[in-house]
C-alpha cells in the first residue's frame, strides 16, 4: 500500500461539508468525528489522511507539497494565488465577494480617491484596477463592516453569504465582485507522481457532487 494521500481541509464549515461528501462516497470518517484535539486524521478506506488547517495554510501546505490535495474557498485562492492545480468546484461553501457601502451612499460620485477596507486587499485592488479606478486599500483583520460605520472607509470588499451582517449594520451591496465556493486543489508534483490514485478520487468526487 502506498503512503496515504494527504488532504488539507479548511477547518470549520468546509471541513464538515467535505467530510459529508467523503461519507457519501462510502468512506468511514469516524477518526475525524472523534478527533478531539488531533490535527491529522486517517480515512483508511480512501488510503488518505486529512490535515485540519486554516484556509491560508491549506494553500501553503498544498503549494509546498506537504499535502497532496486541499479543500479551500475560492476567496482564499483569489487572495493568495499560488502554484497548484484548481481541479474541482465542489459546489458547497457558496457565497460571494461584494462591494458594500452604507445604505444610500453614492459611492461612484465625486472625484476624490475612495477608501476601501477589506480582509482581501489583493482581491479589492484587482477589482478596482480592472475598473481603472484609483483607491486606497486598508487591510482590516476583524469585522470589516465596522470601517464605513466608523468613518474609516467609503466602502468594503468582503464576503457576503446571507447578507444579514450587512443588513443589521445599515450597509448594502452595491456591486458583486465574484462568486465563491469551495475548490479542490492539487499539488502539481503530486498530480504527476500519484496520478492514478488522485484521478480516481477526483472522478469519484465528481460523480457524487
Nearer to ligand PRP, 96 or 194 (CB): 96
Shortest distance (Å) from residue 122 CB to ligand PRP = 16
Nearer to ligand PRP, 2 or 162 (CB): 162
Shortest distance (Å) from residue 162 CB to ligand PRP = 3
Nearer to ligand PRP, 14 or 159 (CB): 159
Q: How far is CA 199 from CA 50, 88, 137, 157, 186, in A?
A: 17, 11, 40, 36, 10
Shortest distance (Å) from residue 129 CB to ligand PRP = 22
The total of other beta-carbon atoms located within 10 Å of residue 37's CB is: 4
Shortest distance (Å) from residue 156 CB to ligand PRP = 9
Binding residues (CB under 6 A) for ligand PRP: these are 143-145, 158-165
Nearer to ligand PRP, 176 or 199 (CB): 176
Amino acid at each position: 500500500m502506498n503512503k496515504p494521500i494527504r488532504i488539507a481541509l479548511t477547518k470549520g464549515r468546509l471541513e464538515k461539508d467535505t467530510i459529508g461528501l467523503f461519507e457519501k462516497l462510502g468512506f468511514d470518517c469516524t477518526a475525524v468525528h472523534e478527533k478531539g484535539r488531533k490535527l491529522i486524521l486517517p480515512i483508511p478506506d480512501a488510503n488518505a489522511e486529512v490535515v485540519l488547517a486554516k484556509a491560508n495554510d491549506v494553500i501553503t501546505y498544498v503549494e509546498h507539497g506537504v499535502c497532496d490535495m486541499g479543500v479551500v474557498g475560492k476567496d482564499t485562492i483569489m487572495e493568495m494565488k499560488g502554484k497548484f492545480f484548481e481541479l474541482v468546484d465542489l459546489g458547497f461553501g457558496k457565497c460571494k465577494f461584494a462591494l458594500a457601502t452604507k445604505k444610500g451612499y453614492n459611492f461612484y460620485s465625486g472625484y476624490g480617491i475612495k477608501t476601501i477596507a477589506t480582509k482581501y486587499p489583493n482581491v479589492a485592488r484587482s477589482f478596482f484596477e480592472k475598473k481603472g479606478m484609483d483607491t486606497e486599500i486598508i487591510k482590516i483583520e476583524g469585522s470589516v463592516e465596522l470601517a464605513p460605520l466608523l468613518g474609516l472607509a467609503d466602502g468594503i470588499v468582503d464576503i457576503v453569504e446571507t447578507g444579514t451582517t450587512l443588513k443589521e449594520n445599515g450597509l448594502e451591496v452595491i456591486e458583486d465582485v465574484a462568486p465563491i465556493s469551495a475548490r479542490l486543489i492539487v499539488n502539481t508534483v503530486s498530480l504527476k507522481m500519484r496520478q492514478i490514485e488522485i484521478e480516481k478520487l477526483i472522478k469519484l468526487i465528481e460523480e457524487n457532487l
